[in-house]
Amino acid sequence: MSDATVHEHPTAETPPVEQLPLDAWHRARGGRMVEFAGYEMPIQYEGIMAEHLWTREHAGLFDVSHMGQLSFAGAGVDQALETLLPGDIQALKPGRLRYSLLLSQEGGILDDLMVTRLPEAHPFDGAELYMVVNGATKWDDLGHLREHLDDGITINHLDERALLALQGPEAVTALERLVPGVAALVFMTAGAFDWQGHALWISRSGYTGEDGFEISLPSDAAEGFAEALCADPEVKPIGLGARDSLRLEAGLPLYGHDLDEDTTPVAADLGFALSKRRREEGKFPGAERILAEHAAGAPMKRVGLIVEGRQPVREGAIVIDADGSEVGRVTSGGFAPSVGGPIAMAYVPAASAAIGTRVLLTQRGKTHSAQVTAMPFVPHRYVRKGAVQ
């Protein structure tokens, strides 16, 4: 027996593997550690299926400390960032966050990220904006930001802080018990909190499609905090494997797989990240190409696929037309525990992107049928402002 597919993509230059602040805690909890984004990270504890379903029904604790936490300060910092990404950062109100994209000059996606305008009270000395970027891209992002932002803008890499995500319908119950007040946050808002004298920064956000929180805290407080959370009956630690299946079911793209430098925001179906004012002004990297695609559609588009049968179709499988010619590619795929069958994301030609279109996929010499479907595959359960809770 041998692995036929490998999902992690080692880069040509492999830097030394680092350990997360919670490394010993993961091992003590039975986490099976694998290398990902330059860190040893838990891929699973008791099993991906059980952990996935636990998160959908209760609350799962994810260690995402490999991700990059950055803070920005300086006069005109929001206008400065707008030269690199297409979001309306100037309109972002204190304590609010939004999803945005770091764009190359050609309009390709260098990274996807969350940016928050900090309110008066926050743990990041003197900063005005806080950003979370992907772990695998954080060093490139830092280089890009330092190269392109004016010297008057100060960037801090908050590498002394850990980042945890608590996701699932019972996340609010468990976290409120430990950190009173977090229940007042709604989706895509954030604030400063305290736990046993440690300065926390908590946003109501995540990447599983569930209600939940992302918690930035000092690394030396991470183990005590994780232990306190997991003492709650609602909370179990969850590995990277379930994080991937949860985000796939939620229809959320993963950088380095569904998004890369050759992909534009329009092709990636992330048009919502192009803010209205920014589209009208057009002053962001690759604006000409991206706005043309926004008006006319991109030649290729990211779609969701329900795969017929039970066999998972994985990243790298090829979308073929009736003649067997390659016309697209699967960028994420697997068995979806909450759906109960195989699902995938793929880039297909615009003519095949309409919901209901049937496509053919080939993988290891076998052809599979699939149907383009609306995403998310499992409904989002974010707690939005004004919604009845």
Binding site for other proteins (CB under 8 A): 1-7, 43-44, 47-50, 52, 241, 245, 310-312, 314, 334-335, 337, 342, 364
Q: Cβ 316 to other proteins, closest distance in Å? A: 11
Q: Cβ 317 to other proteins, closest distance in Å? A: 11
DSSP letter string over 337-381?
TTTTEEEEEEEEEGGG-STT-EEEEEETTEEEEEEEE-S-SS---
Taking the least distance from each CB to other proteins, the nearer of 43 and 162 is: 43
Taking the least distance from each CB to other proteins, the nearer of 285 and 342 is: 342
Q: Which residues contact 247 (CB under 8 A, 6 or more apart)?
A: 207, 208, 209, 254
| Contact status, residue 215 vs residue 59, Cβ threshold 8 Å | no
Taking the least distance from each CB to other proteins, the nearer of 52 and 122 is: 52
Q: Cβ 48 to other proteins, closest distance in Å? A: 4
Q: Cβ 51 to other proteins, closest distance in Å? A: 10
Collapsed DSSP state (helix, strand, coil) of residue 1? coil
Q: Cβ 78 to other proteins, closest distance in Å? A: 41
Long-range contacts, stretch 288-292, CB < 8 angstroms, 24+ apart:
288/107, 289/106, 289/107, 289/264, 290/86, 290/103, 290/107, 290/264, 290/265, 290/266
Query: What span, in angstroms and rounded, lies between the C-alpha atoms of 265 and 77?
Result: 23
Q: Which residues contact 178 (CB under 8 A, 6 or more apart)?
A: 195, 225, 228, 229, 232
Residue 164 burial (CB count, 10 A): 23
Query: Which position has the token pair 């930035």?
Result: 216
Quick one: which of 336, 346, 348, 292 has its CA closest to 316? 346
Taking the least distance from each CB to other proteins, the nearer of 19 and 311 is: 311
Q: Cβ 362 to other proteins, closest distance in Å? A: 14
Taking the least distance from each CB to other proteins, the nearer of 202 and 345 is: 345
Q: Give the 3-state DSSP-derived string for 84-124, with helices as H, strands as E and coil as C.
A: CCCCCCCCCCCCEEEEEEEECCCCCEEEEEEEEECCCCCCC
Q: Cβ 307 to other proteins, closest distance in Å? A: 11
Q: Cβ 52 to other proteins, closest distance in Å? A: 8
Taking the least distance from each CB to other proteins, the nearer of 167 and 189 is: 167
For residue 59, give both structure tokens. Answer: 């609350």
Collapsed DSSP state (helix, strand, coil) of residue 178? helix
Taking the least distance from each CB to other proteins, the nearer of 138 and 314 is: 314
Taking the least distance from each CB to other proteins, the nearer of 10 and 356 is: 10
Q: Cβ 171 to other proteins, closest distance in Å? A: 23
Taking the least distance from each CB to other proteins, the nearer of 45 and 213 is: 45
Quick one: which of 7, 65, 4 has its CA closest to 40? 65
Terminal CA-CA length for the chain: 49
Query: Which position has the token pair 């998310």?
Result: 376
Q: Cβ 334 to other proteins, closest distance in Å? A: 6
Q: What is the CA radius of gyration of the chain?
A: 21
DSSP letter string over 276-292?
HHHHHH--STTHHHHHH
Taking the least distance from each CB to other proteins, the nearer of 52 and 138 is: 52
